[in-house]
Structure 1
Amino acid sequence: MDQYTLQPSSNELTLVLGQQLESGPLGNQHVVVRMMAASLNYRDLLCRGDLEGTRPGLVPLSDGAGEVIEVGSAVTRWRPGDRVSPAFFPKWRSGPFRPEHLAEALGGSSTDGVLRSLFVAHEDAFVRIPDRLSFAEAATLPCAGVTAWHALFERDQVGPEHTILVQGTGGVSIIALQLAQAVGARVIVTSSSDTKLAVAKSMGARAGVNYKTVPDWDQAVLDLTDGRGVDHILELGGPDTYNRSINCLAFGGTISQIGVLTGFGSKPDITPLQFKNGRINGICVGSAEHFERLMAFVDAHAITPAVSKTFTWSGAAEAYEALRRADHFGKVVITIQDHL
């Protein structure tokens, strides 16, 4: 059985294919999953570029899906043949987020992720995959899907009376579009590509704004809402977008702070936020219970996650480059089973 690891090099960590080591005797409450697919997030590019913060030899990627092949003697939730996906934070089952969960995030600075043949974890770390989803589709949800769900439905209660703004057409934005559209919310999408905006509209977006041809995109959003603004913004841009997000936020609205696509260190002018009685919610993925509720919603509303590009196991490095080019719509996926 094989796995990919991140190994030191001059400019960024190198993706290296090697043999997966035996993990020792299976714990009583642990489960062995044969991984079938994994997907990438912008975070995975940051981890590769963090020469000091990422542990050499780390197995990357947080998002995957597979099939249970072995269970410990005390496992009650799963049996061989079950289709499951590991939670991004495997020890955050429910309740409030705790500081120690950050270090436990899969595929991050120190905790091995899912880009390997076999994945072993406690039975509570997994969520069942709906029968209607493929392994590739399910693999897109642990980070991007849970993040969007947490923002829109756990920390807010988005419904048909709301207008939502999503920035870009990556994984979080597109699943957020699908989730919000499923409850009748109006969704506005920003992108630098008219082609991607057309695809977003075909999926239910009410409007799109090209922020390259319309630099004052916040004013365009205000015009689209007759000056009212939007009720909820998924803020994915960072320093270059924050003040514009606040400007086009409706009175009493919510900004979900999620991404850092234009870098770290946002310093927005928050005075307008105060006078709008608006709020900012920090969203760092979510719990296993959030994931379960997302899966149930996706199943009930027949949502099919958007898989933009799929790469084979041997093409994992190409998948990273595809993500870096940012020409995808939705998610980039690596199939794992093709080498077994």
Structure 2
Amino acid sequence: MRVYRPRAGRLVRREEPVPEPRHGEVLVRVRATSLNYRDLLILNGDHFADGGSGLVPVSDAAGEVAAVGEGVTRFAEGDRVINAFHPGWIAGRMPDTLVGYGNGQDGWLAEYRAVSEHALVALPDSLSFEQGATLPCAAVTAWVSLDGVRPGDVVLTLGTGGVSLFAVQLAKARGARVVATTSSAEKAVKLTGLGADTVIDYATTPEWGKAVLDATGGRGADRIVEVGGPGTFAQSLVAAGTHHADIALVGFVGTGGAPVDFMDLFRSGATVRKIWVGSREDTEDLLRWLAVWPIEPVIDSVHPFEQADAAFRHFESRANVGKVVITTE
């Protein structure tokens, strides 16, 4: 089978044997994968949880069951599946130790992958393999970040990455008012088309936290899907106002932001929660919800397997709006 492994910051295609599913395992024929910021960080050696070199990258995939090992009861040959982002987190509280794809074990950038049947979730026929591959990390992260959002709440999203675009759509479907930030008029049009009620250009409005307050009559955001980390957190605190907002701390794609002022944090009364994607149960809950209130994942581009390295470079350029997908066809 064809498989990619990293070498010196690049992806090298290799031929390896198709794995045999062991007891309790399912052999998945991978049809599509999608890229996340962590995949790029791991490839470049910048991820804080780098688990060593040479591992197959990419955490998200969709495919079909090619074979099952002894004792498998959850799936049968021919079933369509996606992976759960954390193969060892089924439900409940996050385990103390998690082994991630690409930084603790081989990921999904291969034609076949053998994993535990408990690390997979059924993919509905209403979603293509390309769409399904966008869900395990970005969509589940957005879903968990929005837990408890009610109709009429103000949700703030940042930028046009995968998590943020899913958050815009899911928040609107929950009846929330969405305020989004971006850096260009073109991306603002995209956000508006997905349902954002107010879009703020952070490039021309550096104090965008105050702009969020102005846009909401001084109320601020009830829920903030905070993907920027050090580059945006100080302004997110401003946008939270003083009414005990909930900040879902998702990522750290931003750099160079102002230091966090303790008094801003104190006045906000905000609750800050670390979001580590979610469990398999969270993934199943999301898919059940999508069966009733469907949304269409935003896919920026689809690349053939032979151009996987080019797909990573396109993603690294941050020119994309939405998910970058790699297919094995």
Give yes or no for TM over 0.5. Answer: yes
Q: Secondary structure at the match of 2:245?
A: strand
**What are the within-5 Å matches in structure 2 for residues 163-242 of structure 1?**
163-242=154-233
The residue type equivalent to 1:193 in the other structure is: S
Deviation at 1:30, TM superposition (A): 0.7
The residue that corresponds to 1:98 in the other structure is: 95
Instruction: For 2:293 and 2:225, locate their aligned partners in 1 and report how far apart those are by CA, in whole Å.
Output: 21
* Cα distance, 1:22 vs structure 2: 4.2
Cα distance per residue 1:76-129 (max 9 Å; x no partner): 11001111011111010112112211xx1112x231100000111111100111
User: Partner amino acid for 1:123?
Assistant: E
Partner of 1:4: 4
**Aligned ranges 1:25-64 → 2 under 5 Å:** 26-50=21-45, 53-64=50-61
99, 104, 115: which one aligns with 1:110: 104
- Is 1:238–1:266's contact at 8 Å kept on the other side of the alignment? no
1:21 paired to 2:17: yes
Do 2:157 and 2:168's aligned partners in 1 also have CA atoms closer than 8 Å? yes
Q: Secondary structure at the match of 1:310?
A: strand
- Given that 2:301 and 2:323 are in contact with CA atoms closer than 8 Å, whether structure 1 keeps it comes out as yes
Aligned match of 1:318 in 310, 314, 321?
310
Q: Distance in 1 between matches of 2:307 and 2:120?
A: 27
SS in 2 for 1:309: strand
Deviates more, 1:124-133 or 1:52-61: 52-61
Corresponding residue of 1:87? 84
Give the TM-score taking structure 2 as reference length.
Answer: 0.95
Kindly indicate whether the alpha-carbon contact (under 8 Å) linking 2:156 and 2:178 is maintained by their aligned counterparts in 1.
yes
Provide closer, same or farther for how the CA distance between residues 47 and 230 of structure 1 changes in structure 2, counting only shifts above 3 A.
same
Moved over 6 A (4+): none
SS of residue paired to 2:22? coil
Structure 1 counterpart SS, 2:27: strand
User: 1:72 Cα shift?
Assistant: 1.6
Secondary structure of the structure 2 residue equivalent to 1:268: coil
Distance 1:95 1:73, change over 3 A: same
Per-residue CA deviations over 1:295-337 (Å, capped at 9, x if unaligned) read 111221121111111111111111111111111111110011x
Alpha-carbon contact 2:182-2:200 (below 8 Å) kept: yes
Task: Return the offset for 1:272.
Answer: 2.5
5+ residue gaps, structure 2: none
1:182 positional shift? 0.7
- Alpha carbons of 1:270 and 1:129: their partners in 2 closer, same or farther (altered >3 Å)? farther
- 2:278 corresponds to which residue? 286
Whole-angstrom CA distance in 2 between matches of 1:105 and 1:279:
27
Which of residues 266, 269, 291 in structure 2 aligns to 1:277?
Answer: 269
Q: Which residue of 2 aligns with 1:333?
A: 325
Write the mapping of 1:295-306 to structure 2, written as runs, cut at 5 A: 295-306=287-298
CA distance in 2: counterparts of 1:265 and 1:203, whole angstroms:
28
Name the amino acid aligned to 1:64: A
The aligned length equals 326
How many Å apart are 1:45 and its aligned residue? 1.2
Contact between 1:298 and 1:304, CA under 8 Å: does it hold in 2? no
Q: Which runs of 5+ in 1 are unaligned?
A: none
CA RMSD of aligned residues (A): 1.7
State whether residues 155 and 224 of structure 2, in contact with CA within 8 Å, keep that contact through their aligned partners in structure 1.
Answer: yes
Matches within 5 A, 1:124-163: 124-153=118-147, 157-163=148-154
Opposite residue 4 of structure 2, the aligned amino acid is: Y
List per-residue Cα deviations over 1:177-198 (Å, max 9, x = no partner): 1111111111111111111111
- AA matched with 2:28: V
SS at match of 1:239: helix
